[in-house]
Amino acid sequence: MKQIDGRARKGYLSLLYFAVVLLPVFLLGCYLYNEKQLRIGQFQEFKTHNMKEHISPPQQSKEDKDKKTDLVPLDICDVFTGKWVLDNVTHPLYKEDECEFLSEWVACTRNGRPDSKYQKWRWQPRDCSLPRFDGKVLLEKLRGKKLMFVGDSIHYNQWQSMVCMVQSVIPSGNKTLKHTAQMSIFKIKEEYNTTIAFYWAPFLVESNADPPDKRDGKTEPVIIPQSISKHGENWKDADYLVFNTYIWWTRHSKIKTLKQGSFSKNDSKEDYEETGIYIGYKQVLSTWTKWLEQNINTNQTSIFFSSMSPTHIRSSDWGFNEGSKCERETEPILNMSIPPIDVGTNRRLYEIAVDATKSTTVPIRFLNITTMSEYRKDGHTSFYGSRTGKLMTTEQRLDPRTFADCYHWCLPGLPDTWNELLSLYIIYKS
């Protein structure tokens, strides 16, 4: 019985020793081990964090950057359908007095136009948003290339806009402007080696309006519908060709054509015949598309056709019944109705142009600027242009029906938006 009690006492003492001495030591060891691991983890996290702070992220390649900026879904978004939004922050895209190449003809503020709201309207497509225009991004795409506008004075208007939109990013010694009988050539040297040119051909084919002294609209136009090669020789080296022809077709319901040969001083009435403008327009665009098919390598050259630039010559079209034109307008037509308001655009010529660009084997991008521009009754030069080199007199301003120019556009202004949209296709799709 005493032996059992002794064993029990020893067992009890062993358990007590374990509980009092060994267990605390064991627990202390566990604690110290965990604390060490925690400190190691914190140190590693701290080290990693500091490495992230001091090691620069990998540089993006140019291709990656291009992919990142390609945010305009041009395949699914109709950028020509939308509305005008007043934007005092991002527009105008340049200031009139900062563009040394802007002619007096369209410098409306310099010519005395008192309002400037027309410069601040931004185009907002219905189904997507446009990136802010960046002249450097466009010039990077145009590096070593030639962009050429071909057409009438509306295209000259747009060419001046494009020059003003990009010239500010080029040092003054690296840009030049040269005029010849048929062309205006803006060259950017050194870094970009880019040319932005305009070629005068109001009918695309040869006409008696081609010479510099016959462009005032006072001479009745005569065209040679099948003759385009003389002009076309000057287009072949362009990487981007942007065509238009419209304003000169709207003067009469018929147009004179030369029966055969070329223009000469001995031409008589018997050498001409009259053709309806719709037949003549089809003939000219057929000649144009055939020339493109035979002479342009579309792997190297992208082709665009700008639709009709509208006029605003009847204020009654937008509900202002005082027999005026566009000379009093300071805001766009803000009622974006469907169908759009009718300001007299020749939609039949428009449809002929659409059909011509679709019926050729050459891919032609149709730039549908017409409807968006029809709302911009406020954007014309009206009394504040100087096409003849002289500003309008007080007496002329009293006769808007005769003298207000509701064909051409002030700059900065609407043509800048046309070029924003053109630039999207050059940057992202060509």
Residues taking part in catalysis: 153, 405, 408
125 near 82, Cβ under 8 Å? yes
CA quadruple 288, 291, 292, 295: dihedral, nearest 10: -160
- Considering only CA atoms, which of 345, 395, 390, 402 is closest in space to residue 371? 345
Under a CB-based contact definition with an 8 Å cutoff, are residues 156 and 198 in contact? Answer: yes
Residues 178 and 184 sit within 8 Å (Cβ to Cβ): yes
Q: Where are the alpha helices (DSSP H) in 254-369?
A: 277-295, 347-358
Q: Name every residue whose Cβ is closer than 8 Å to that of residue 399 and which is 6 or more positions away in sequence.
A: none
Cis, bond preceding 412 (omega within 30 deg of 0): yes
Rounded to 5 degrees, what are φ and ψ at 373? Answer: -85, -25
* φ, ψ for residue 191, nearest 5 deg: -55, -45
State yes or no: cis peptide before 225, omega within 30 of 0: no
